[in-house]
Amino acid sequence: MSAGTAQQILGEVFGYTAFRGPQQDIIGHLVAGGDALVLMPTGGGKSLCYQVPAIVRQRAGLGVTLVVSPLIALMHDQVGALHEAGVAAAFLNSSQSLEQSQEVQGRLQRGELTLLYVAPERLNTPRMLSLLAGLHERGLLSLFAIDEAHCVSQWGHDFRPEYRGLSLLHEQFAGVPRVALTATADDLTRQDMIERLKLGQARQFVSSFDRPNIRYRIVEKSDPLRQLLRFIESEHAGEAGIVYCQSRKRVEEVAAALQGAGVQALAYHAGLETALRQQRQDRFLREDGLVMVATIAFGMGINKPDVRFVAHLDMPKNIEGYYQETGRAGRDGLPANAWMAYGLQDVVNQRRMIDASEVASEAFKQVMRGKLDALLALAEGTGCRRVSLLAYFGEGSAPCMNCDNCLQPPELWDATEAGRKLLSCIYRVQQASGLSFGAGHLMDILRGKRTEKVLQYGHERLSTFAIGADLSEAQWRSVLRQLIARDMVRVDFEGMNTLSLLAPARALLLGQGQLWVRMATPAAPRSRQRPQRTSVQGLAEASLNAGALERLQRLKAWRAEVAREHNLPAFVIFHDATLRAIAQRNPQHLQALEGISGMGTKKLQAYGADVVRVCTESG
């Protein structure tokens, strides 16, 4: 068959000119009736991998493709997007009335649907299974696509017990090909998934997990709110983004602060009522340029393609979490920023949460500490961030020139002596008073400050008093972070985050080994001017002239209206990238729209004339 047909559908239905990465191989394999396991990063283009085969096979008389998706909230938008492209699609889930669901079942039985989206719990009902059995007998059950397939594994981060029922599909519907898709790279989860879904025989398609359009930056936290605001105002004014915070309270504070500063921000966390959460998620997806301030409760399946930045105001638990969350930026392939501010307090908080857990076993805690250490090493690291991230997932790569360390290699200073001073200060203090103290007090001693507490304990008489007056508090903090990241210093939480020495400190104290620490980021970062945007698809906004920019604004306003009428997110009507290409081309008639990426046949018919009118109207 089939590459030809698939290629035609790609252009005709989706308006795209070429397949991305392994899409073509995957599609060919599924069209030919094979089983597949697809591991592809967020934004890699997984949906097309089953949507194109669904259309090819339906046109060949093979019937409907069933898509299992855990996210009821997003089925509506996905089906809406297929409608816009002229594909017969529907969903069945608990949000529908009885009539609506009967109507869909009727279309299913009459063989009118190309794709049907169902929640896993719905698929497992006797009613649904007997409907499918009927179709199967008539040879009209074409393909099963299991989206977010990692939900079947308890090792993944989104375990859904309902997914377990899917292991029966291949027995009940023998011969119907199955494809499972996920963006979770973790090996343990992957193996578990294959076993649970009985996909041992399936062909595996593993993509690189690199997200080249995302620029990774990790900055030292000094005044986080101000830093965040400066980042948003100077680089992302008016653009959509997500800000992750650790706690509900912090989410509310940060959202209020952003709103106060004139940024359109919404708060989202598990403490809000379901209806309110749903409403805010809808607004984020539907409106342009909103900033969502959220806990990690916000995330899975956020398929908004034009999220331009993901900011972490608090450090996540581990690299898996960090990568998952930052991966929500730039799904459209255009430049996006992953920005994190982190500091000593983050290290302390995360350690505390692990240590304080009463449910976790010691062995489990040890694993969690190891994962946290890997993230600390990334944050403190001086090499390419992307190389470290990909190495963590077992992938080799070369320096990327699209992360802070590549673009502006950090300067290092030799902190070996300072590290020794700090360690011996911790030791002396403990020896003198039999007590441990927190970071602030130790720094006061080192910097020679005669505070009330210093005098109360007679710590001004210690041999380490004032031996570090030459370093700033910020410098001492970064030395301390390094010592914690290297397991030389332990933070205890019973009292007041007190510090004590661990075995690896011995070597440094005995004069072995060295400690190199990143120079603090300059107080007035260069990022005042808009950083140079690497154009990934040759579509950077910077390349638009004034006339085109003005057309783009009008096209966006028009799109917002259409999206509202259809009750769909704007990006489902046209992606930003498509509008930009239109604005640039400045079409004066319908033919001029041909070949624009994202402009399929159905959309050309439905919207072509409007688009030309918007462009030709005088501004």
Q: Which residues bind ligand ADP (CB under 6 A)?
A: 16, 19-20, 23, 40, 42-48, 303, 305, 331-332
Q: Residue 567 Cβ, how far from ligand ADP at the closest point, in Å? A: 19
Q: Residue 445 Cβ, how far from ligand ADP at the closest point, in Å? A: 52
- Could you tell me the maximum CA-CA distance found in the chain, to the nearest angstrom? 90
Based on C-alpha coordinates, what's the Rg of the chain?
28
Of all residues in the shown chain, the one whose CB is closest to ligand ADP is 45
Q: Is 474 exposed, middle or buried (0-12, 13-18, 19+ CB in 10 A)?
A: middle
With helix as H, strand as E and coil as C, how does 349-413 read? Answer: HHHHHHHHCCCCCHHHHHHHHHHHHHHHHHHHCCCCHHHHHHHHCCCCCCCCCCEHHHHCCCCEE
Residue closer to ligand ADP, measured from CB, 153 or 207: 207
Judged by beta carbon distances under 5 to 8 A according to partner kind, the member of Zn ion, ligand ADP, none in contact with residue 9 is none
Residue closer to ligand ADP, measured from CB, 58 or 303: 303
Judged by beta carbon distances under 5 to 8 A according to partner kind, the member of ligand ADP, Zn ion, none in contact with residue 289 is none
Q: Give the integer Cα–Cα distance in Å for 79 and 562.
A: 17
Query: At residue 336, what are phi and psi to the nearest 5 degrees?
Result: -145, 160
Residue closer to ligand ADP, measured from CB, 40 or 141: 40
What residues are paired with 216 via a beta bridge?
Answer: 338, 403
Q: Within 434-569, where are the H helices?
A: 439-446, 452-456, 473-485, 505-509, 546-566
Q: Residue 380 Cβ, how far from Zn ion at the closest point, in Å? A: 15
Residue closer to Zn ion, measured from CB, 401 or 557: 401
Residue closer to ligand ADP, measured from CB, 303 or 482: 303
Of the candidates 107, 179, 106, the residue with the CA atom closest to the CA atom of residue 142:
179
Residue closer to ligand ADP, measured from CB, 81 or 229: 81
Q: Residue 374 Cβ, how far from ligand ADP at the closest point, in Å? A: 25
Tokens representing 98?
A: 């009885």
Judged by beta carbon distances under 5 to 8 A according to partner kind, the member of ligand ADP, Zn ion, none in contact with residue 406 is Zn ion
Residue closer to ligand ADP, measured from CB, 40 or 258: 40
Q: Residue 397 Cβ, how far from Zn ion at the closest point, in Å? A: 9
Residue closer to ligand ADP, measured from CB, 332 or 380: 332
Q: Residue 29 Cβ, how far from Zn ion at the closest point, in Å? A: 34
Q: Give the integer Cα–Cα distance in Å for 60 and 139.
A: 12
CA quadruple 404, 407, 411, 412: dihedral sign: positive
What is the CA 255 to chain-centroid distance, rounded? Answer: 20
Judged by beta carbon distances under 5 to 8 A according to partner kind, the member of Zn ion, ligand ADP, none in contact with residue 305 is ligand ADP
Judged by beta carbon distances under 5 to 8 A according to partner kind, the member of Zn ion, ligand ADP, none in contact with residue 153 is none
Residue closer to Zn ion, measured from CB, 409 or 458: 409
Tokens representing 519?
A: 């120079």
Judged by beta carbon distances under 5 to 8 A according to partner kind, the member of ligand ADP, Zn ion, none in contact with residue 40 is ligand ADP
Judged by beta carbon distances under 5 to 8 A according to partner kind, the member of ligand ADP, Zn ion, none in contact with residue 386 is Zn ion
Cα 307 to Cα 16, 420, 486, 546, 575: the distances in Å are 21, 45, 35, 24, 12
Q: Where are the beta strands (DSSP E) in 151-270?
A: 178-182, 203-206, 214-220, 241-244, 265-268
At a CB cut-off of 8 Å and minimum separation 6, what does 300 contact?
A: 70, 71, 148, 158
Q: Residue 3 Cβ, how far from ligand ADP at the closest point, in Å? A: 13
Q: Residue 227 Cβ, how far from Zn ion at the closest point, in Å? A: 21
Tokens 């299992």, located at residue? 68
Residue closer to ligand ADP, measured from CB, 332 or 346: 332
Judged by beta carbon distances under 5 to 8 A according to partner kind, the member of Zn ion, ligand ADP, none in contact with residue 48 is ligand ADP
Count H helices, E strands: the chain?
Answer: 26, 17
Residue closer to ligand ADP, measured from CB, 300 or 353: 300
Q: Give the integer Cα–Cα distance in Å for 303 and 328.
A: 8
What is the CA 71 to chain-centroid distance, rounded? Answer: 16
Judged by beta carbon distances under 5 to 8 A according to partner kind, the member of Zn ion, ligand ADP, none in contact with residue 459 is none
Neighbours of 396 (CB within 10 A): 7
Which residues of the chain form contacts with Zn ion (CB under 5 A)? 384, 386, 400, 403, 406
Residue closer to ligand ADP, measured from CB, 85 or 254: 85
Judged by beta carbon distances under 5 to 8 A according to partner kind, the member of Zn ion, ligand ADP, none in contact with residue 45 is ligand ADP
Residue closer to ligand ADP, measured from CB, 19 or 558: 19
Q: Residue 239 Cβ, how far from ligand ADP at the closest point, in Å? A: 17
Strands 489-492 and 309-312: unpaired
N- to C-terminal Cα separation, the chain = 48
Q: Give the integer Cα–Cα distance in Å for 567 and 573.
A: 11
With helix as H, strand as E and coil as C, how does 24-63 read? Answer: HHHHHHHHCCCCEEEECCCCCCHHHHHHHHHHHHHHCCCC
Q: Residue 398 Cβ, how far from Zn ion at the closest point, in Å? A: 9
Q: Residue 42 Cβ, how far from Zn ion at the closest point, in Å? A: 19
Judged by beta carbon distances under 5 to 8 A according to partner kind, the member of Zn ion, ligand ADP, none in contact with residue 264 is none
**How is residue 214 annotated by DSSP?**
E
Contacts 24+ apart (CB under 8 A), 260-263: 261/229, 261/233, 263/229, 263/232, 263/233, 263/291
Q: Residue 173 Cβ, how far from ligand ADP at the closest point, in Å? A: 24
Q: Residue 600 Cβ, how far from ligand ADP at the closest point, in Å? A: 11
Residue closer to ligand ADP, measured from CB, 372 or 555: 555
Q: Residue 403 Cβ, how far from Zn ion at the closest point, in Å? A: 3
Judged by beta carbon distances under 5 to 8 A according to partner kind, the member of Zn ion, ligand ADP, none in contact with residue 42 is ligand ADP
